[in-house]
């Protein structure tokens, strides 16, 4: 099948909202689609979602007209191919550090999907100092649709504390964003409400939201509307 509208939207550099669905809840897909999400981010790296649950979520997303994107727990080809064999729309691949890592991913898509590889979305994560040092060479590898900056893991690599927001970490995120923007690459990152405007100004178009962030904001807004103080 050709690229769906959401995949094409990402390629065209338009803003894309990807929601991490957190766990095995296929019923959430229709609500996400109706509320304006573009992609279901099925996270097999930092949740307990296995291959069978991921497959069920992929199918539910497609029924709801959402693009199904899986973040694998590994860049190992034997792991990635399982998702591709189950017809996922695209993959977010972690632990990318070198151009060879990217070349291996792109070649795997060709191997697993054949002529249909052009209809898949490839997103690679930039989340280590090594990846940043190799960023120019990584960006030269054709076939990547977008780059997902991982500020939390990058912070751990730089400071030993995951999620640290030191000036050095924040400056590095800005630096990477600027390099990707100048190279006319599509990129994004997890953008909470305090960072969203800044990330958009940097040029991020792939905006990734854990579903708990959306719930948290909605409930805080509701409590504020009702005049209910936080306990």
- Give the Cα separation of 168 and 180 in Å (integer): 18
Cα 163 to chain centroid distance, Å, stands at 17
Work out the angle at residue 14's Cα, subtended by the Cα atoms of residues 8 and 20, and round it to the nearest 5 degrees: 80
Is the pLDDT reported for residue 2 higher than 80?
A: no
The tens digit of pLDDT for each residue in 167-200 reads 999 999 999 999 999 999 999 999 888 888 999 9
At residue 194, what are phi and psi to the nearest 5 degrees? -75, -20
Please check whether residue 171 lies inside any domain of the structure: yes
Using only the alpha carbons of the chain, give its radius of gyration.
17
Q: In the prediction, which pLDDT does 228 show? A: 84
Q: In the prediction, which pLDDT does 194 show? A: 86
Q: Which residues span the domain enclosing 109?
A: 5-226
Please check whether residue 64 lies inside any domain of the structure: yes
Its pTM stands at 0.93
Q: What is the CATH number of the domain that holds 202?
A: 3.20.20.60
The total number of structural domains that make up the chain: 1
Mean pLDDT of the chain: 94
Please check whether residue 22 lies inside any domain of the structure: yes
CA quadruple 3, 15, 91, 66: dihedral sign: negative
Please check whether residue 53 lies inside any domain of the structure: yes
Please check whether residue 231 lies inside any domain of the structure: no
Q: In the prediction, which pLDDT does 129 show? A: 97
Please check whether residue 72 lies inside any domain of the structure: yes
DSSP conformation class of 47: S
The tens digit of pLDDT for each residue in 135-178 reads 999 999 999 999 999 999 999 999 999 989 899 999 999 999 99
């Amino acid at each position: 099948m050709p690229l769906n509208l959401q995949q094409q939207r990402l390629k065209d550099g338009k803003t894309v909202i990807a929601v991490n669905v957190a766990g095995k809840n296929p019923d959430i897909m229709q609500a996400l689609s109706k509320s304006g999400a573009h992609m279901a981010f099925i996270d097999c790296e930092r949740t307990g979602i296995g291959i069978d649950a991921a497959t069920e979520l992929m199918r539910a997303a497609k029924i709801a007209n959402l693009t199904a994107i899986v973040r694998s727990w590994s860049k190992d080809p034997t792991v990635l191919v399982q998702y591709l064999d189950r017809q996922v729309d695209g993959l977010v691949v972690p632990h990318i550090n070198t151009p060879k890592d990217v070349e291996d991913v792109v070649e795997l898509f060709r191997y697993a999907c054949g002529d249909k590889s052009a209809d898949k979305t490839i997103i690679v994560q930039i989340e280590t100092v090594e990846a940043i040092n190799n960023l120019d060479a990584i960006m030269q590898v054709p076939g990547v649709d977008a780059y997902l900056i991982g500020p939390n893991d990058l912070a751990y690599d730089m400071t030993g504390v995951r999620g640290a927001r030191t000036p050095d970490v924040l400056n590095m995120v800005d630096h990477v964003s600027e390099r990707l923007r100048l190279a006319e690459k599509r990129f994004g990152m997890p953008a909470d409400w305090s960072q969203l405007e800044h990330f958009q100004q940097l040029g991020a178009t792939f905006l990734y939201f854990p579903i708990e962030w959306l719930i948290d904001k909605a409930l805080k807004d509701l409590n504020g509307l009702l005049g209910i103080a936080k306990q």
